[in-house]
């Protein structure tokens, strides 16, 4: 007599579980291998890499490649390392992220709580900017920046990133505020609060989840951007990504792979930190919008 017992069910699920974990482990290895290679090689002297054994752990640990990449490598005319370009990137990313997020929040507020004739059309046009490939606007944008006297400046890059980010930040905030009860806005109106008072006192304090999502999104995009940086930046405004490219592609001398690896990690570090610090808010923010909206 064969009666399916509960043991079988438990065992079946245990086998399934092992399979799932096996697949997950394979994926983890797949994704972590490049990071391992970068990290291991950035801590080796160059001759260990050129002598083969790129997958090996360092025999002699050294921080010299990191020091080189940060402050001594020859990137521009002077052997400055990546440091000045890191600062360039920070100077570009912080205002670009803050301005585009603030404008996106304001747009979302107006598009949901102060609807006007054609507001949907304007939202549609803003969304369209999310889908225009960067390459199309390069030449017109260069001309505009030239006319405005912003060519080659960090300010010009900030402007470009704000304009390109506006579509997404508006989309995020609009969808979030669409689920925000309009009765609250009406109550505040009766209480005598004006347009900006309602925005500042009622909506913004409830916007933390979506603000985090938007900031992470914008930070990552602007920091990682290469095309605008390489097209519009001048010597004193070159961002990190472009500098890294210059470092790796310098055609003179020996290829210092360990320095390149260290530089690449340095370039990726800020976005990594942002994710690790606020990643759970990111998920929470996306969920909040999804469940309520």
Partner 1 sequence: MAALSIENLIKNYGKTEVLKGIDIEIEDGGFLVLVGPSGCGKSTLLNCIAGLEDITSGQIRIGERDVAGLHPSKRDIAMVFQSYALYPNMTVEKNIAFGMEIRGIAKSERKKAIKNVAEMLQIEELLKRKPSQLSGGQRQRVAMGRALVRDPQVFLFDEPLSNLDAKLRVDMRTEIKRLHQRMGTTIVYVTHDQIEALTLATKIAVLKDGKLQQFGTPAQIYNDPVNMFVADFMGSPSMNLIPAKIEDDLVVLKGGDTNIHLPGPHYLAGYTDVVFGIRPEALTDPDGADRAGRIEIRPCAIDVVEPAGSDTFAVTTLGGHEATARLRADAMVDPGTTADLAFNLDKVVYFDPKSGERIRG
What does the binding site for partner 1 look like in residue numbers (CB under 8 A)? 181, 183-184, 186-193, 197, 201-202, 205-206
Least separation in angstroms between CB 189 and partner 1? 5
Nearest residue (CB) to partner 1, 162 versus 203: 203
Q: Give one word for 48, left, alpha or beta, with left for phi > 0 and alpha for psi -120 to 50.
A: alpha
Shorter beta-carbon distance to partner 1: residue 51 or 118:
118
Cα-flanking dihedrals φ and ψ of residue 4, to 5°? Answer: -65, 110
- CB nearer to partner 1: pick between 93 and 198: 198
CB of 260 to partner 1, least distance (A): 48
Nearer to partner 1, 52 or 205 (CB): 205
CB of residue 204 to partner 1, shortest distance in Å: 9
Q: Which is nearer to partner 1, 59 or 117 (CB)?
A: 117
Cα–Cα distance measured from residue 162 to residue 33, given in angstroms and rounded to the nearest whole number: 35
Least CB distance to partner 1 at residue 166 (A): 26
As measured in angstroms, the least distance from the Cβ of 206 to partner 1 is 6
Q: Which is nearer to partner 1, 47 or 183 (CB)?
A: 183
Residue 97 burial (C-beta neighbours within 10 Å; 0-12, 13-18, 19+) = buried
Min dist CB 176 to partner 1, Å, is 14
Could you tell me the two tokens for 69? 């990449």
């Amino acid at each position: 007599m064969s009666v399916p017992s509960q043991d079988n069910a438990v065992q079946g699920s245990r086998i399934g579980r092992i399979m799932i974990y096996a697949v997950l482990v394979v994926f983890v290895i797949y994704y972590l291998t490049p990071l391992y290679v970068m990290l291991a090689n950035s801590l080796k002297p160059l001759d260990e890499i050129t002598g083969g054994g790129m997958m090996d752990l360092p025999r002699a640990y050294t921080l010299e490649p990191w020091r080189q990449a940060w402050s001594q490598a020859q990137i521009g005319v002077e052997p400055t390392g990546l440091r000045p370009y890191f600062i360039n990137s920070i100077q570009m990313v912080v205002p670009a992220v803050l301005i585009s997020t603030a404008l996106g929040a304001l747009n979302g507020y107006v598009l949901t709580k102060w609807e006007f004739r054609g507001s949907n059309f304007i939202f549609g046009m803003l969304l369209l900017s999310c889908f225009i490939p960067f390459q199309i606007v390069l030449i017109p944008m260069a001309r505009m920046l030239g006319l405005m006297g912003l060519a080659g400046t960090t300010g010009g890059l900030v402007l470009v990133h704000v304009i390109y980010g506006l579509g997404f930040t508006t989309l995020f905030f609009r969808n979030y505020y669409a689920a925000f009860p309009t009765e609250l806005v009406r109550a505040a109106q009766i209480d005598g609060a004006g347009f900006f008072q309602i925005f500042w006192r009622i909506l913004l304090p409830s916007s933390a989840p979506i603000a985090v999502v938007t900031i992470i999104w914008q930070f990552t995009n602007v920091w990682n951007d290469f095309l605008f940086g390489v097209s519009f930046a001048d010597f004193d405004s070159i961002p990190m990504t472009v500098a890294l490219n210059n470092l790796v592609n310098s055609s003179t001398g020996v290829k210092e792979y360990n320095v390149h690896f260290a530089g690449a990690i340095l370039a990726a570090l800020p976005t990594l930190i942002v994710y690790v610090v606020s990643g759970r808010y990111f998920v929470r923010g996306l969920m909040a919008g999804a469940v309520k909206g």
